[in-house]
Amino acid sequence: MTEHPNSMGSWLKTGVIALATSLTMNAASAAEGDIIHDGEYNFLRAQHGEKWDAQDVEIGDALAAIRDANGGKPPNILYVLIDDVSFGQMGSRKMNYVTGFETPNINQLADESLSLMRMYTEPSCTPTRTAMLTGRHPVRAGVEEVKVALVGEGLSAEEVTIAEILKEVGYNTSHVGKWHQGDIEQAYPHNQGFDWAAFPLHQQVQLSLMTREAMVANNMLGFHASGQSGDFAIDQRFKPYGLVTGVEAEAGGLAREVDMAPGEEWTQAKYEDMNQRYQDQAIEQLQKLAAQDEPFFLQYWPLYPLNFAYSDQARSRNGGFMADKMEVLDDWVGELMTALEETGKADNTLVILMADNGLMYHYEGTSGLNQLIYRGGKTQHLEGGVRTDAFVRWPAAIEAGSAAGDIIHVSDLFTTFARIAGATDHIPRDRVIDGVDQTALFLMGEGNSRRDYVYIYEGPVLRSIVKQEFKMHMPAPGQPGAAAPVFNVLRDPREQHAQVGYSLWSGASFQDMLKRHQKTIAKYPHLPLGKDAPYGGIENLRPESELARQVFDSWQ
Amino acid sequence: MTEHPNSMGSWLKTGVIALATSLTMNAASAAEGDIIHDGEYNFLRAQHGEKWDAQDVEIGDALAAIRDANGGKPPNILYVLIDDVSFGQMGSRKMNYVTGFETPNINQLADESLSLMRMYTEPSCTPTRTAMLTGRHPVRAGVEEVKVALVGEGLSAEEVTIAEILKEVGYNTSHVGKWHQGDIEQAYPHNQGFDWAAFPLHQQVQLSLMTREAMVANNMLGFHASGQSGDFAIDQRFKPYGLVTGVEAEAGGLAREVDMAPGEEWTQAKYEDMNQRYQDQAIEQLQKLAAQDEPFFLQYWPLYPLNFAYSDQARSRNGGFMADKMEVLDDWVGELMTALEETGKADNTLVILMADNGLMYHYEGTSGLNQLIYRGGKTQHLEGGVRTDAFVRWPAAIEAGSAAGDIIHVSDLFTTFARIAGATDHIPRDRVIDGVDQTALFLMGEGNSRRDYVYIYEGPVLRSIVKQEFKMHMPAPGQPGAAAPVFNVLRDPREQHAQVGYSLWSGASFQDMLKRHQKTIAKYPHLPLGKDAPYGGIENLRPESELARQVFDSWQ
């Protein structure tokens, strides 16, 4: 077992005077030029700042040495974000036996990586992606959950993405696959820092469930016109229609829809073609980017390759209609890693693979996926919604086969990528950055995280606060902190046995954490979500999409 | 993914005529001289007998070659059976991070072993141990669950244990630790094939929970006289008292109680001393047995080293009063494996480590242990009650770091140990042996199990039937098979989403399995449990134990 320094012990040893000094120093260092962090992080920095500053000198030297050995360049970054997969569903032979499907390529990646055993995401696709792109809790950018149909909303142009930051220091950047940051022009990846992007404008529910096939498979009842009688239906616009599917674009240019001709019907076969195309494009982009002199940042965010019709040719022992597709995803990861090796640049490429949130548990029992260890799934603040397998591979700098039980949050990737790329100076200083620099954790390993807390939102609502092994579910409105259920996630990973003792002793401490978070919000209020007419900047909008857009405008 | 031959395919290819021949052959081979198996096994043998017979020739050659290289001797066997630990709680770094306690020594053992990923036990301590010792479902020997107090019952002298069988071919045999096969003389290990034994006459609930300390720790309310007012109590014999604790004995001799002087009170400290003594004695026995010329069979069945008082000095990150003790058990396994290496005989020693059933879930939330992946625990037919981590290490013959998803049942160890020791001829032919010879699985690896089914009893009641990935919970009395809930344990490891479709198609097949099992029972009825006056054969019975025995006799 790794020794964890007893931070409360060090705190007490520091004494009141040293503490006061430290807090003053921190206040001073929060002046112009410093990143604005959440109050909780500042509270930790006041306890550990000196140690962290000393570590940062070492880390700076280490990064410089790696750059020097790499022609002066920082590493490439390949970020693979998989859709809706729960903790334990990839990367472990033992768990493969439990689930009955195999992930040999991801298991191998895990063996070559630092496994982050306590990676927290947001509970749903859009917010997790916003957190990673901006280093901010999505709620600070006005982002909650992007809905399935037209919304005229999305990631604001005012937000600064990691792609924009990496571009500042010379990275070439590409995005392939799911994006899900809104249907307005400013939110598109090629307008948010990516040189090139191929992505669907909406997401997999639209793309895999809103089909005639999914209705016939008993999973999207009544969606398709052919499955409705239409009797008594007055509103002909109740369901989404004419939605734009996959588009491609270069930075600053117009997007072009590539899947659909006017009047065509979206089908399962088209969805599968789209998934395969993104896989092929991810590899093409990897090869193209690796052939250039500049360092690269490639985001490959595959859609979950769902088919809601039950297969008559099971692939895995599990055979469930979602479970089998984990093996498809694993194949894709294997191809991608082989392609990376073939570029000859794998040693200096930081690869991160993880999922964006827990499984779509709604189809549990038939899909073949299940909640496994943690209770809950996508959309929920429970551990099953926000814990995911996460692996970080960087042969030049990260110990293969290592693991860390430290808490880390997906927003930390923003800050950490920036640091590793030498782009920290380009992180904006006028807004809160929740992401913490975790370079120490990556390079020095377990026990070196700079957070032991996470605030968990469902959309705009704070639902849980995690601190160390404890987790408080927020009490019902008007209820005191001592009435909040508090769980120990090591002893009770399914959050089913709230211990009255915990909330009695931890209630005040959790309330203090809440206040530190709220004070930060009061000082730096949330910024607004981007809003605009939907489907801007698409050069070949189909007539049905244009109609959908007009209908949407008509009631705004 | 390993290829699993489609057995139904082969069956169909064989054709009706070949099938009839095969069944006839099987009936013929069930004559005198053959082991009597359950009908379900015979049904499988009819489908695969030729293949298995051919494999057995190969296996015979392999075992002979190993014996030849080992001075003509079969391997030593070291069987470590841990109390009440659920699947996933030992042997996996990933799961160590989930639980917050570490099992590095067992993880290392797992790395050096064949991991049996689908080992089924009986749902409770006594029946699991009976199944292993006799190769029979405990119900066939009249064994249900041995209770905490005096019972005057236990494993019958008519049962033939694996120790007795191994002795027939020259093994030296020792038993150390938990036994839990009853409080009558014939049931004691030194009367059931062991040359020497040190064991408690009862079990851990008596030994760890029935203490003043456990009552003070809020876990055994009112048990101790000091915690009762006694008002309105007429019966002074309502609770167990004067129970015999730990004894030691040689084969055929009298047992001697070693823990207690007359009038002494059993305490937590005494329980801890007992646990440590068994650990020390296991290593002493290992050293002694390894120094002799004969092959040896050593059973070390540690008690779970419980302390129901919450520690004020947490050892693990979890820190729960049961969780911390897993680290103690892991230390003990490490010491034992080191001692084995030091004997110089590790290469030719078959080591099996597993647990006897799932956790004592009754203390979930505070104990630090939890159900993890599978629902349920000790006493329950749910997967959480009967699935356990199991590792088989034999450097001379078994591939290190391998794993098998095949179904295996604890009773198979009986038959397999006998085969590996060259003692199959000594398995009795006058009763049903449920244990299947799994030497092919051990030596040839995944896909070579000779069972794809398990019948799961709770005491005398058949509660579930497992076949492949399907599991039927027996329907309520009088309900038809199609009403039985059927689960897919790969898709739904917590058995929470019974699929109506499953029971409709599998109902008839499960009913056929039930009939094959019942026909075997009708032909070979269950044998009676051993019964006698309790506490026979103890040379230094304390007066309070003698009184307890007299009181017990008084109402028989």
What pLDDT, on the 0 to 100 scale, is given for residue B7? 39
CA-CA distance, B155 to B134, in Å (whole number)? 10
Q: Output Rg (C-alpha) for chain A, integer angstroms.
A: 23
pLDDT band at residue A454 under the 50/70/90 scheme: very high
Asked if pLDDT for residue B10 goes beyond 60, the answer is no
Least Cα distance to B470 among B432, B505, B421, B437 occurs for: B505
Nearest-Cα residue of chain B relative to residue A93: B403
Q: Output Rg (C-alpha) for chain B, integer angstroms.
A: 23
Asked if pLDDT for residue B32 goes beyond 60, the answer is no
A118 vs B contacts (CB less than 8 Å): 97
Chain segment A77-112, per-residue pLDDT in tens: 999 999 999 999 999 999 999 999 999 999 999 999
Per cent of chain A over pLDDT 90 is: 78
Chain length of chain B: 556
Q: Among B92, B486, B491, B502, pick the best mutation site for testing chain A contact (most A Cβ within 10 A).
A: B491
pLDDT band at residue A123 under the 50/70/90 scheme: very high
Nearest-Cα residue of chain B relative to residue A502: B366
Least Cα distance to A303 among A388, A178, A201 occurs for: A178
Per cent of chain B over pLDDT 70 is: 94
CA-CA distance, B92 to A430, in Å (whole number)? 45
What pLDDT, on the 0 to 100 scale, is given for residue B14? 36
Asked if pLDDT for residue A328 goes beyond 50, the answer is yes
Mean pLDDT over A518-536 rounds to 96
Per cent of chain A over pLDDT 70 is: 94
Joined tokens for residue A92: 């472990």
What pLDDT, on the 0 to 100 scale, is given for residue A219? 77
Chain length of chain A: 556
What pLDDT, on the 0 to 100 scale, is given for residue A147? 72
Chain segment B92-122, per-residue pLDDT in tens: 999 999 999 999 999 999 999 999 999 999 9
Asked if pLDDT for residue B145 goes beyond 90, the answer is no
pLDDT band at residue B441 under the 50/70/90 scheme: very high
What pLDDT, on the 0 to 100 scale, is given for residue A10? 39
Nearest-Cα residue of chain B relative to residue A317: B490
Chain segment B235-293, per-residue pLDDT in tens: 877 777 899 999 999 998 999 999 999 999 999 999 999 999 999 999 999 999 999 99
Mean pLDDT over A125-148 rounds to 92
Mean pLDDT over A476-488 rounds to 86
What ipTM was estimated for this complex?
0.90
B367 vs A contacts (CB less than 8 Å): 491
Nearest-Cα residue of chain A relative to residue B321: A491
pLDDT band at residue A13 under the 50/70/90 scheme: very low
What pLDDT, on the 0 to 100 scale, is given for residue B147? 72
B38 within 8 A of B434, measured Cβ to Cβ: yes
What pLDDT, on the 0 to 100 scale, is given for residue A221? 74
CA distances (Å), B153 to each of A106, B185, B529, in order?
Answer: 53, 9, 7
- Which among A316, A403, A490 has CB closest to B1? A316
A92 vs B contacts (CB less than 8 Å): 92, 94
Query: In whole angstroms, what separates CA B64 from the centre of its chain?
Result: 28
CA distances (Å), A160 to each of A124, A171, A175, A499, B426, in order?
Answer: 21, 15, 16, 42, 77
How many contacts, defined by CB atoms under 8 Å, are there between A and B?
120
Nearest-Cα residue of chain A relative to residue B490: A99
What pLDDT, on the 0 to 100 scale, is given for residue B27? 36
Angle, alpha carbons B96-B101-B103 (nearest 5°)? 65
Interface residues from chain B to A (CB-CB < 8 Å): 1, 4, 88, 92-95, 97-100, 102, 115, 117-118, 316-318, 320, 323, 364-373, 403, 405, 469, 488, 490-494, 496-497, 499
Q: From the CA of A61, how many Å to the nearest CA of chain B?
A: 31
- Which among A93, A368, A373 has CB closest to B373? A373
Long-range pairs for B478-484: beta carbons < 8 A, 24 or more residues apart = B480/B507, B481/B507, B481/B508, B481/B510, B481/B511, B482/B507, B484/B510
Q: From the CA of A358, how many Å to the nearest CA of chain B?
A: 15
pTM, 2 dp: 0.92
Residue with the larger pLDDT of the pair B193 and B7? B193
Asked if pLDDT for residue B365 goes beyond 90, the answer is no
What pLDDT, on the 0 to 100 scale, is given for residue B181? 95
pLDDT band at residue B197 under the 50/70/90 scheme: very high
CA-CA distance, B198 to B298, in Å (whole number)? 12
- Which among B115, B372, B493 has CB closest to A370? B493
Angle, alpha carbons B318-A384-A388 (nearest 5°)? 85
Q: Do B494 and A371 touch (CB under 8 A)?
A: yes
pLDDT band at residue B504 under the 50/70/90 scheme: confident
Q: Do B373 and A499 touch (CB under 8 A)?
A: no
Alpha helices by DSSP H, listed for B30-111, are 39-69, 93-99, 104-111
Looking from the CA of B62 toward its CB, the CA atoms found within 13 Å total 16
B98 vs A contacts (CB less than 8 Å): 117, 373, 490, 493
Neighbours of B8 (CB within 10 A): 9
A95 vs B contacts (CB less than 8 Å): 94
Tell how strand A530-531 and strand B387-388 pair up. unpaired
- Which among A102, A118, A469 has CB closest to B1? A102
Task: Identify each DSSP E strand in A410-545 by its residue range.
Answer: 453-458, 461-467, 470-473, 486-488, 530-531
- Which among B317, B320, B492 has CB closest to A370? B492
Amino acid identity, position A487: F
pLDDT band at residue A307 under the 50/70/90 scheme: confident
Asked if pLDDT for residue B19 goes beyond 50, the answer is no
B93 vs A contacts (CB less than 8 Å): 403
Q: From the CA of A324, how many Å to the nearest CA of chain B?
A: 11
Neighbours of A3 (CB within 10 A): 7
CA-CA distance, B536 to B152, in Å (whole number)? 9
Chain segment A182-229, per-residue pLDDT in tens: 999 999 999 999 999 999 998 887 888 888 888 888 877 767 777 777
Q: Do B364 and A492 touch (CB under 8 A)?
A: yes
Mean pLDDT over B418-432 rounds to 97
B534 within 8 A of B151, measured Cβ to Cβ: yes
A481 secondary structure, DSSP code? G
